[in-house]
Amino acid sequence: MYDKGLVRAVGVSNYGPKQLLKIHSYLASRGVPLSSAQVQFSLLSMGDEQMELKTVCDSLGVRLIAYSPLGLGMLTGKYDASNLPNGPRSVLFRQILPGLESLLSCLSGIADRKGKTMSQVAINWCICKGAIPIPGVKTVRHVEDNLGALGWRLSPDEISELEAAAMECPKKMVQNIFQTA
């Protein structure tokens, strides 16, 4: 596609740090720019590998596209142990939600102080980390709410507060099984 002039760059999805370095080197040897890497990235997926991947992206000039920036909805404040989503997500939510009280409280507090929603704060955290969040939406209201994450920034202290609360969570989001090392 690049050689035929149909695209100006390429992007990858679910590449871990090592594979990202490999594909970047391979593409560079062919003169093909690597523009983006799409991975699960949120306050619930702040593990060492995701943060290493973000560092590698930054060092290579590759934009990180963050899917599931709301942790499948866990960071919206909509769900709790007595109100779980239908379908397969409920199994995951039962495992992770009980340990999120501190993080959800932190999100709620910052949202209240800023006149924002918890979703807007969680998405803005991704933006402040230099990622391009692509939250899933089901309704026009979700789109409108998500747009409220734009045009402002969390302070460095608020970012630190959120990350400290996220690190206290006993369980993180299950990483995509298709993401390479």
Decide which of 3.20.20.100, 3.30.40.10, 3.40.50.720, 3.40.50.11030 is the CATH code for 2-168. 3.20.20.100
Q: Report pLDDT for 19.
A: 93
Please report how the helices 101-114 and 118-128 are oriented relative to each other, as an axis angle in degrees rounded to 10.
90
pLDDT digits (tens, 9 = 90+) for 4-22: 999 999 999 999 999 999 9
Q: Report pLDDT for 180.
A: 59
Domain spans of the chain, in order of start: 2-168
Buried b or exposed e, range 27-41, using 16+ CB within 10 angstroms: beeeebebbebbbbb
Average pLDDT rounded to a whole number, residues 33-37: 97
Q: Report pLDDT for 135.
A: 96
pTM above 0.95, yes or no: no
Query: Is 181:50 a contact under the CB 8 Å cutoff?
Result: no
Average pLDDT rounded to a whole number, residues 155-169: 95
